Amino acid sequence: MILPSVRVFALGDVVLQGAPADAPGYVFSGRVLITIRVPARIQTVKVVFQTAQGGRWARLRHRDTNDATDNVSFADSVYSSAGEVWARGTYEFFFRIVLPGDLGETMFTAHKRVAYEVRAQLSGSVRRAAVRPVAVKRMPYFGSAWEALASDMVHVSAVWRDRIEMCALGCSRVQRDGQLLRVTGVVRALEKGFCLTKVGVILEERTRCRSARSTSESHVAASRFLRAGEHGDWHGRAIVDQMAFDLELRIPPAYKIQYDVKHGPVTVSHRLAFVVAVVDQFGHGTSLRLFTPLHIMPHDCVDLHDELPAYADVQADRVLLAADAPPELFA
């Protein structure tokens, strides 16, 4: 039997503005392409934005997810008839779904899994469907205190036992997934006899579950340590006055590192650590870490490969292409 094909295209991901209690709704739009290879009786074409079930994320270890409010479903019926026969060809429909501003952000952590998809469904004498994953992201309002952090630069220092001073400076506190983070680390010896044996930076991700157990977990999302001989001859050398290092760290892509989540039963935060290891004149080693908060936020623009125009009031079921060629055969 030669079945129709269904494809669904969305206008990027869902990007909500502001906290869940204050964020306005979001208009999620896109289009559905249906190719009919033999005449078929079609009754409905419906597009549903819903919580994703199963798939590759179902195998992830997750806890504390038995919450009925996590299951959402919003639909737009783009075509309905008593059973009109469609001729061979390609048909295009535009959909527009208004989503609430309090949707939970997409996340894949040990405590919680939140995933969404858009599903196009064709029913009639045949039934077909197409699914496309969609991420829900949250950005602060323009001009809000959180958004203002984008212009805040890291400049933090601390002194260990009046013997070693550490300083990290240079990068913005707001970072984006996939980008290169650059920071300058400075080590200053306040007394003689210290040698440097390790220099690097660590990006740490912390997930906190505000449940009855109130648990939290931390793990290293990314790290970068200088090798001996890299960035000059520093390894094993005595720290005379101070030593400065320009360090670069590639932030993982989205959902290999989670975005910051500030609201809800599960929150996600990040911090950057400038790490050094020193050995004193007696051979005693000490590892020191200087922590400072970072915020991992989504990019401001949608992926240009997924960009489509926003269709506001289009009711379209026009034929894009009449199929003059012989139909493709599918088992």
Please give the residue range of the domain that contains residue 117.
5-140+303-321
Residues 317 and 199 in one domain: no
Residue 228 covered by a domain: yes
Residues 133 and 173 in one domain: no
- Predicted pLDDT of residue 224: 94
Residues 123 and 183 in one domain: no
- Predicted pLDDT of residue 147: 65
In the sheet that 319-321 helps form, which strands lie side by side, from edge to edge?
Answer: 5-10, 26-36, 89-99, 319-321
Residues 129 and 252 in one domain: no
**Which residue do the tokens 């912390």 mark?**
206
- Predicted pLDDT of residue 70: 64
CB 3 within 8 A of CB 126: yes
Residues 108 and 177 in one domain: no
Residue 162 covered by a domain: yes
Residues 168 and 270 in one domain: yes
Query: 239-274: per-residue pLDDT in tens?
Result: 888 899 999 999 999 999 999 998 888 899 999 999
What φ, ψ does residue 330 adopt, rounded to 5°?
A: -130, 140
pLDDT < 50 regions, the chain: 55-69, 301-331
CA atoms within 13 A on the CB side of 23: 25
Q: How far apart are CA 37 and CA 34, in angstroms?
A: 10
Residue 326 covered by a domain: no
Residues 118 and 85 in one domain: yes
Residues 88 and 132 in one domain: yes
Residue 331 covered by a domain: no
Residue 95 covered by a domain: yes
- Using alpha carbons, select from 72, 121, 80, 128 the residue that is nearest to residue 98: 72
Residue 180 covered by a domain: yes
- Predicted pLDDT of residue 54: 53
Residue 36 covered by a domain: yes
- Predicted pLDDT of residue 230: 81
Total domains in the chain come to 2
Residues 134 and 167 in one domain: no
Q: How far apart are CA 99 and CA 48, in angstroms?
A: 11
Query: 157-202: per-residue pLDDT in tens?
Result: 999 999 999 999 988 899 999 999 999 999 999 989 899 999 999 9
| Rounded-to-5 percentages of helix, strand, coil across the chain | 5, 55, 40
Residue 328 covered by a domain: no
